Amino acid sequence: MASGIRAGALLALAVCGLMGCGHPARPQPVTHTVTIDAVHFQPATITVRVGDTVVWVNKDPFPHTVTAASGNLSSPDIGASDSWRWTATSAGDLPYVCKYHPTMTGTVTVAP
């Protein structure tokens, strides 16, 4: 009898795991790419989720940075043909610039 209850409970857990039981499974983290080309961030605005990674790829022949006034979004120099990876750890809007080229602006919106 007891083993029958245990088997039933395990089955319920397995079904719950497969179906979600009303709690949607958290999406797998995704990697997004922002291209730096001709002194522009492309796309200039991007929306990601906590846990996602953003890669900035510099296609210009000189260095750029990704520098936000707040949060932990702050790259070192990203040289020509180099890239820099950053993983979102908390929700919020992060406007950023290239500290060498203040006309270059972008925003990362991090959804929970």
Partner 1 sequence: MSMGSCALRNGSTVTVTVHFQGDFMKLSRTIIAAAFIAATASLHAQSINDAQIASIVVTANQVDIDAGNLAEKMGSTADVKAFGKQMVTDHTGVNKSAVDLVTKLKVTPEDNATSMSLKDGGAKNVANLKTLKGKAFDKAYIDHEVAYHQQVLDAVDKVLIPNAKNEELKALLVKVRPAFVAHLDHAKHVQEMVSK
Question: Which spans of this chain sit near partner 1 (rule: CB under 8 A)?
Answer: 37-40, 60-63, 80, 100-104
CB of 67 to partner 1, least distance (A): 14
CA end-to-end span of the chain = 45
How deeply is 13 buried, as exposed, middle or buried, from its count of CB atoms within 10 A (0-12, 13-18, 19+)?
A: exposed
Find the shortest distance in angstroms from Cβ 100 to partner 1. Answer: 5
Nearer to partner 1, 87 or 100 (CB): 100
Q: How many CA atoms lie within 13 A of 88 on its CB side?
A: 25
Judged by CB, which is closer to partner 1: 49, or 99? 99
Q: How far is the CB of 33 from partner 1 (least distance, A)?
A: 19
What gap in Å lies between CA 55 and CA 33, rounded to an integer? 5
Instruction: Give the nearer residue to partner 1 in terms of CB position, either 25 or 38.
Output: 38
